[in-house]
Amino acid sequence: MSVVGAFVSHLRANAEVFILTGNRIYREHAPPDTRKLPYVVVTQTPGSRREYDQSGVSGKVNVQLLVDAFADSQSGAETLGDKIRLAAAGLVNSTIGTVPNQKTIDRVRLDDDFPDNVESAAGASIAAYRWNQNWSIWADETAPVLA
C-alpha cells in the first residue's frame, strides 16, 4: 500500500471524519457526479522523494500530500480540516503494506492549513468551500539490496 492509500484508509477508518464524510474520501480526484457534501480529496504532489545518505538509499521516503476538504460552508470546511488534522496524528508508527514493500510511518507534519475561494465542487453546479492542507509524511521503507 502506498502512503497516499494509507492516508485515505486512515481517514476512512476515523470515526470523527467518517461522521462528516461517510465514504466520500477520494484519492486523486472526486468522481464527476459528486454532489453530496462534505467530502475529501487526497492527492500526492510533486516534491515526494527518497532520501539518500553517504551509503546510498537511506530507507526513508518523504511523501507530499495535498488534502482538500469540501463542505457547504467555510466553517464546515474548516471543521472537517480540523478533524483531518487530529486524525492524521494517529498515523505515526503505523505499518503499511507487506514485505518487500512495507513502510512504517515515522513522522507526519502539517505544512500548511488554509481556506480557499469558493469553488465548484468536482465540476458540479453546487457551490462548495474548500479547506486546503499540505502534508509531509516520512516513512521508513525496506531499502533495496543490490547483489
Looking at the chain, which runs of residues are DSSP E strands?
25-27, 39-44, 49-53, 56-71, 95-96, 103-115, 119-120, 127-141
**CATH at residue 42:** 3.30.2000.30
Weakest-pLDDT range from 50-54, 75-79, 93-97: 50-54
Q: Do the domain assignments include residue 147?
A: no
Contact, 121 vs 34, CB < 8 A? yes
Q: Do the domain assignments include residue 134?
A: yes
What pLDDT, on a 0 to 100 scale, did the predictor assign at position 147? 52
Query: Which of the four pLDDT bands, split at 50, 70 and 90, describes residue 119?
Result: low
Residue 67 has pLDDT above 70, yes or no: yes
Residue 58 has pLDDT above 80, yes or no: no
Interval 40-65 mean pLDDT: 80
Weakest-pLDDT range from 10-24, 67-81, 97-111: 97-111
Beta bridge partners of 127: 120
Which pTM value belongs to this model? 0.83
Q: Using alpha carbons only, how large is the chain's radius of gyration in Å?
A: 16
Ranges of H-type helices in the chain: 3-13, 15-21, 74-88
CA-CA distance, 125 to 34, in Å (whole number)? Answer: 10
One-letter amino acid for residue 30 of the chain: A
The residue whose grid cell reads 469553488 is: 119
Contact, 35 vs 126, CB < 8 A? yes
Q: Do the domain assignments include residue 133?
A: yes
Interval 99-120 mean pLDDT: 79
Domain count for the chain: 1
Higher pLDDT, 86 or 90: 86
Q: Residue 51 sits in which domain range?
A: 3-141
Query: Which of the four pLDDT bands, split at 50, 70 and 90, describes residue 93?
Result: confident
- By the 10 Å C-beta count (0-12 exposed, 13-18 middle, 19+ buried), 63 is classed as buried
What pLDDT, on a 0 to 100 scale, did the predictor assign at position 110? 93
